[in-house]
Amino acid sequence: MPATPGRRPGLYLHVPFCSAICPYCDFAVTTGDGERRERFLSALLEEVALGVPRGWEGEFDTVYLGGGTPSVLGLDALERLFEVARRHLPMTPEARISLEANPEDATPERLAGWRGLGVTTISLGVQSFDDEALRYLGRRHTADEARCAVDAALAAGFATVSVDLIYGLPGRGVAAWRRDLEAAVELAPDHLSCYQLTVHPGTMFGRRQARGERIEIPDELQARLFRATHEVLRDEGYEGYEVSNFARAPRHRSAHNTKYWDHTPYLGLGPSAHSFDGGRRWWNERGVAPWQRLVETGVRPIAGGEELGTADLLLERLMLALRTAEGVELEEMRSRYGVDLEDRDGERLVRFEAAGLLSREGGRLKPTLEGLAVADTLARELGNLTDPSRSRGN
């Protein structure tokens, strides 16, 4: 499927280093000394220098540095990276550049430096404004340090300052979470990402839970926390435009992340990074060492990929669209995927509407707040091209 015209692709750069590994994190991360970081950076520059794959169309208008913690790279390193990227990859002059940073790295000097390099959005991994919660999460900063970092970031002149928070910690109920949210709102960031703590196997929390420790909270409480998040932030003037993302104005929404949700192509570089060209998705080697070995021999460090059929694309698009407040245009489903949901799934739509999970407005299918909370189920039920029960008119 060709890239949709008018939508420019996004560029993702993965920096896997962290000063320590958080017990909940299941991204491709590693600690590592200066020498290893230096070698990594050279390899990343080499991968960037390979340019876009053959047949890749369009100029990047968003760049996202994620990780890991890209803020652990020094200013010189970032400068070299941007310089090489601009030289080898097609980029619009006004491309928005986002950088993930830890509060302890966000000193006024560094913030000014990043700003000077053209970073437009800074995303701070605050996670909580409660010292005890921060310790539980294995973070290396305090609530006060977090406040200082947010204030400093706001003062540094970025187009958007975003704060990441985590909720659903065991023993912390709705009241504690409201305090966290209010502490964040008081600082008036432009954007908030509020993620529910998810326990992944293979993480420290995953191992602890496997040994019998209760970390993940009951889903009834999850639902209440989810609802509280959206309600508190709505009342404070933040639009919940995605399951976990809130913006004070449309211009503060994450333009780069939105590309993931509406099937705009993106190119991912660095270990474990995923790329999507509109019909194919592929991913790099996850480990730094194997990724580095391939890059150093001049080969694209790809570990695997898949060709997405119409049924796959449809399911993904619905799964992703139903995670956003905007939902999906029924016309888009018809023209892009050849599926008339009202025709094929009318009964199911009516059932979901009656249950207060979905609404149809102006030709769009939108999840309600309750619907957003069960978006996975909605997508599974609706995004099914091959369900045999449908042919029987079920």
Partner 1 sequence: MALDRIRNFCIIAHIDHGKSTLADRLIQRCGGVEARDFRDQILDSMDIERERGITIKSNTVTLRYVARDGQEFLLNLIDTPGHVDFSHEVRRSLMSCEGALLLVDASQGVEAQTLANLYLALEYELEIVPVVNKIDLPSAQIEQTLEEIESDLGLDPFEAVLCSAKEGTGVEDLLEAIVTKLPPPTGDPAKPLQALIFDAEYDPYRGVVLLCRVVEGTIEPGQSVRLMHSDKEYEVEEVGLLQLKHVKRPRLEAGAVGYVIAGIKAVQDIAIGDTITGAERPAAAPLPGYREAKPVVFASIYPLSTDDYEDLTKALEKLVLNDAALTYEKDSSTALGFGFRCGFLGLLHLDVVQERLRREYDLALLLSAPSVRYKLKLEGGREMEVDNPGLYPDPTEIAQAFEPFIKASVMMPERYIGSVMEICRERRGEETTYRYLAVGRVELTSELPLGEVLFDFYDRLKTVTQGYGSFDYDMLDYRPTDLVKVDILVNGEQVDALSQLTHRDKARARALHYCERLAETIPRQQFKIAVQGAIGGKIIARSTITAFRKDVTAKCYGGDITRKRKLLEKQREGKRRMKMVGAVEIPQSAFVAVLKTEKD
Name the site residues for partner 1 (rule: CB under 8 A). 12, 195-198, 219-220, 222-223, 226, 243-244, 257, 260-261, 266, 268, 272-276, 281, 283, 306, 312, 315-316, 319-320, 323, 351-352, 355, 357, 370, 372-377, 379-380, 383-384, 387-389, 394
Before 68, cis peptide (omega within 30)? yes
- Tell me, what DSSP letter sits at residue 70? G
For 254, list phi and psi in degrees, rounded to 5. Answer: -80, 105
Instruction: Report, in Å, the least distance between residue 268 CB and partner 1.
Output: 6
Instruction: Report, in Å, the least distance between residue 378 CB and partner 1.
Output: 8
Instruction: Report, in Å, the least distance between residue 374 CB and partner 1.
Output: 5
Instruction: Report, in Å, the least distance between residue 198 CB and partner 1.
Output: 5
3-class SS of residue 193? strand
Determine the length of the chain: 394
Note whether 22 and 278 are within 8 A (CB): no
Instruction: Report, in Å, the least distance between residue 350 CB and partner 1.
Output: 11
**How many Cα neighbours within 13 Å face the side chain of 102?**
21
| Complex with partner 1: residue 151 or 231, whichever CB lies closer | 231
Residue 365 contacts by C-beta under 8 Å, 6 or more apart in sequence? 321, 322, 327, 328, 329, 330, 341, 349, 358, 359
Identify which of 276, 275, 279 has the alpha carbon closest to the alpha carbon of residue 1. Answer: 279
| Complex with partner 1: residue 1 or 75, whichever CB lies closer | 1
C-alpha 18: how far from its chain's center?
A: 18
| Complex with partner 1: residue 158 or 261, whichever CB lies closer | 261
Output the furthest CA–CA distance in the chain (Å, rounded). Answer: 66
| Complex with partner 1: residue 67 or 156, whichever CB lies closer | 67
The Cα–Cα gap between 151 and 143 comes to: 12
| Complex with partner 1: residue 53 or 157, whichever CB lies closer | 53
| Complex with partner 1: residue 95 or 156, whichever CB lies closer | 95
Instruction: Report, in Å, the least distance between residue 383 CB and partner 1.
Output: 7
| Complex with partner 1: residue 149 or 308, whichever CB lies closer | 308
The Cα–Cα gap between 363 and 355 comes to: 20
Helices (H) then strands (E): counts for the chain: 16, 15
| Complex with partner 1: residue 250 or 388, whichever CB lies closer | 388
Instruction: Report, in Å, the least distance between residue 299 CB and partner 1.
Output: 21
The Cα–Cα gap between 137 and 332 comes to: 41
Note whether 308 and 285 are within 8 A (CB): no
Instruction: Report, in Å, the least distance between residue 370 CB and partner 1.
Output: 7
